[in-house]
Chain A
Amino acid sequence: MDLLEGVSVSAGSLKMSDVIAQPVLRRRASARGAILSTLFEWLCFGAASALLAALAGLLVSLLIGGWPALHKFGFSFLTVSTWNPVTDVYGAAGPIVGTLVTAGLALALALPIAGGVAFFLTELCPGPLRRPIGTAVELLAGIPSIVYGMWGLFVFAPLFAKYVQLPLMTAAKPGSLLDTLTTGIPNGSGILPASIILAIMILPFMAATLRDLLLTVPASVRESAYGLGATTMEVVLSVSLPYIRRGAIGAVMLGLGRALGETMAVTFIIGNSHGFPTSLFDSGSTIASTIANEFTEATSDMHLSALIALGLVLFVITFVVLGLARLLIGQQERRT
């Protein structure tokens, strides 16, 4: 999460520097300005190094804390799905798969809606409605995750079980793909409900960022397209979207990052079993939910170490996802 915030800030600061470069150059003329400017540069450098130091410190402490478990179980820590605090045998495959599946599903569910909200707010929304809807989106982003968790467990789960899960389970023919996908306990817990809650949680972040990005598309560009006879859909898909592509990937990654690391809301509704989930309604676990569940009462050293190693795995997953996103952006930049 923090990692991603850092990235979005740096993406934003690129544009910031373009804006402030001019006045700074002009002030360089005076000696006092030069000193202030040097000081400013050092302060900025200090801030950036502090961030790096914090990151490095985190990585090192996770490595030290998780080392006993990583050393004992080796590569099998990533491939085995046994998680047994009684015999002190730990493998993180179940939580890793659960994390990736729920985050991926959540992204797939939230992205089209977030895009729709952003396009509506910037292109179609009547003026007086724009502010209330925008504020509502931002308000959603400010709701603490424990509230989503409670709401998910006490309100969403029973409704989901009654109106989605049971009809789907009864409609599925035995042995069909739908039957395989919908096997589970009809009480509204499991992988899919957790992904839906996650999708609701990451939606406002992505919608708000996408909207802000769409607002940066110069009016002249959009109006030229309209002038050429393009429809709203064509303007959005062929003019606005390509214009904000780079930032949009950042927005998606921001959402994905939150989904990967989200803890409380998922813990309440995912069902918390450590094996591989075999269907959409099967209970599973994520890395974050496992840590949240077991960290407080982990009395054996190996248990604690395994949980810290899990944290390290989540760190690496987030890092790889971000790296891939950067790579993707870089490639697209070169192509254009």
Chain B
Amino acid sequence: MLKKLGAAFGAALIISAATLAHGATISGAGSTFAAPLYSKWAEAYKTQDLNYQSIGSGGGIRQITANTVDFGASDKPLKPDDLATNNFVQFPTAIGGVVPVVNLPGIKSGDVKLTGANLADIYRGAIKKWNDPLLAVNNPGVNLPNLPITVVHRSDGSGTTFIFTTYLAAKAKHWATDVGANDAVQWPVGIGGKGNEGVAAFVKQTPGSIGYVEYAYAATNSLTYTLVQNKAGKFTTPTAAAFAAAAAGAKWSSAPGYYLLLIDQPAPDAWPISGATFVILHKNQANGRQVIAFFDWAFKNGDAAASSLAYVPLPAAVKDLIRKTAFAQVK
């Protein structure tokens, strides 16, 4: 016990010494989803060090409100009112999305087509078996088995859950009134796995199960995903291009504080369950310009790094808009 304490104390000393050595460090905290991306960007950014604590979006917002960090990162954008009261600037940095994954015998990625209403019915327990006629309608020729559906959701509060439940609430009235959208909700049915890896593990171990994970996680772990119908009526495949289409088609310019959820975008190739991850900082604060300089650099040079981690970079037009509107506000 003592040894452990000693080791922890020693490590803390080393870390604080390292921080002191580079006086000019930008500090950020928040979104765990964005953490790998920001660390990769920070690694390549030579001007300054970035100290990013991936403590979760809620913690990130609390820390920037309390001024203990230079920027907060959140997967759930703050509403324009909240931005105004705190004198915050908010802008998106990258696009991600949520992908339904299934475990069905003999079914490969892209075989099963689902609508938003289907997903909402499955997640509230109204559709209980895979051979339900409601699912069969859109899946002619697909051998959907007579298996009970095991619903798997995230157990931890998460931006992924926020995007997914926002989508379900947008597509089904009963979901909006009975469950709602949040980073943690009271799930009507199903079991909860901790993190993307927890959900993926339960789905892998349970024949007949369906779960939802971040696109980056599904892509790097080659999970069996389904197609989802978008607003234009097309059953879309979750690809980087489909997320970019959702981001490009969105009306960012008419969204104050970039408060925009990329749910169910009208673009013909858009993936319907998309979302952005956001950075929040004060308009007037120490290190504000340095934070902007970092993200400006990342917008210019960071796309390849983002793609290599299966994040989707913002379209160039959106970046320009952010430079003109959000970046300019920070003093």
Which residues on A are within 8 Å of B, measured CB to CB? Answer: 82-87, 153-154, 157-158, 161, 185-189, 267-268, 271-274, 283, 285, 289, 292-299, 303-304
A273, B153: Cα distance in complex, Å:
10
A138, B150: Cα distance in complex, Å:
39
Whether the pair A85, B182 counts as a contact (CB closer than 8 A) is: yes
Q: How many A-B residue pairs have CB under 8 A?
A: 97
Whether the pair B155, A297 counts as a contact (CB closer than 8 A) is: no
A303, B28: Cα distance in complex, Å:
23
A267, B199: Cα distance in complex, Å:
12
Least CB distance, A49 to chain B, in whole angstroms: 20
Give residues 14-57 of B contacting A (CB, 8 Å): 32, 55-57
Q: A271 is contacted by which of B58, B158, B181, B192 (Cβ under 8 Å)?
A: B192
Whether the pair B55, A296 counts as a contact (CB closer than 8 A) is: yes
Q: B191 is contacted by which of A154, A283, A292, A295 (Cβ under 8 Å)?
A: A283
Whether the pair A85, B184 counts as a contact (CB closer than 8 A) is: yes
**Chain A residues whose CB sits within 8 angstroms of the CB of B85 once the complex forms:** none
**Chain B 190-201 interface 0/1 with A at a Cβ cutoff of 8 Å (1 = within):** 111110001001
Least CB distance, A68 to chain B, in whole angstroms: 16
Q: A272 is contacted by which of B56, B155, B181 (Cβ under 8 Å)?
A: B155
Task: Please name the 7 residue pairs, one residue from A and one from B, whose CB atoms are nearest each other, closest first.
Answer: A296-B56, A297-B157, A272-B192, A272-B155, A86-B180, A187-B206, A84-B186
Least CB distance, B12 to chain A, in whole angstroms: 18
A106, B238: Cα distance in complex, Å:
43
Whether the pair A299, B61 counts as a contact (CB closer than 8 A) is: yes
A277, B111: Cα distance in complex, Å:
35
Which residues on B are within 8 Å of A, measured CB to CB? Answer: 32, 55-59, 61, 76, 150, 155-159, 179-187, 190-194, 198, 201-202, 205-206, 209
Whether the pair A296, B32 counts as a contact (CB closer than 8 A) is: yes
Least CB distance, A155 to chain B, in whole angstroms: 11
A217, B154: Cα distance in complex, Å:
51
A316, B186: Cα distance in complex, Å:
26
Whether the pair A86, B194 counts as a contact (CB closer than 8 A) is: no
**Chain A residues whose CB sits within 8 angstroms of the CB of B202 once the complex forms:** 187, 189
A158, B103: Cα distance in complex, Å:
14
**Chain A residues whose CB sits within 8 angstroms of the CB of B61 once the complex forms:** 299
Whether the pair B150, A187 counts as a contact (CB closer than 8 A) is: yes
**Chain A residues whose CB sits within 8 angstroms of the CB of B192 once the complex forms:** 271-273, 283, 293
Whether the pair B206, A186 counts as a contact (CB closer than 8 A) is: yes
A82, B190: Cα distance in complex, Å:
16
A296, B59: Cα distance in complex, Å:
6
* 9 A-B pairs with C-beta separation under 8 A: A85-B157, A85-B184, A86-B179, A153-B201, A158-B205, A161-B205, A272-B193, A296-B157, A297-B56
**Nearest-CB residue, chain B, relative to A190:** B191
A83, B202: Cα distance in complex, Å:
23
Least CB distance, A42 to chain B, in whole angstroms: 22
Known: A188-B205, A273-B187. A294 touches B194 (CB 8 A): no
**Nearest-CB residue, chain A, relative to B1:** A5
**Nearest-CB residue, chain B, relative to A85:** B184
**Nearest-CB residue, chain B, relative to A150:** B197
**Chain A residues whose CB sits within 8 angstroms of the CB of B56 once the complex forms:** 295-297
**Chain B residues whose CB sits within 8 angstroms of the CB of A271 once the complex forms:** 191-192
Whether the pair B184, A294 counts as a contact (CB closer than 8 A) is: yes
A87, B190: Cα distance in complex, Å:
20
A86, B175: Cα distance in complex, Å:
12
Interface centre among A158, A187, A289, A297 (most CB of B within 10 A): A297
Whether the pair A298, B155 counts as a contact (CB closer than 8 A) is: no
Whether the pair B191, A83 counts as a contact (CB closer than 8 A) is: no
A285, B183: Cα distance in complex, Å:
18
A285, B186: Cα distance in complex, Å:
13
Whether the pair B156, A268 counts as a contact (CB closer than 8 A) is: no
A38, B184: Cα distance in complex, Å:
56
**Chain A residues whose CB sits within 8 angstroms of the CB of B186 once the complex forms:** 82-86, 274
Least CB distance, A146 to chain B, in whole angstroms: 10
Least CB distance, A306 to chain B, in whole angstroms: 11
Known: A153-B201, A293-B155, A297-B57. A86 touches B209 (CB 8 A): no
Whether the pair B58, A296 counts as a contact (CB closer than 8 A) is: yes
A83, B182: Cα distance in complex, Å:
13
A104, B206: Cα distance in complex, Å:
28
A289, B56: Cα distance in complex, Å:
16
Interface centre among B57, B150, B194 (most CB of A within 10 A): B194
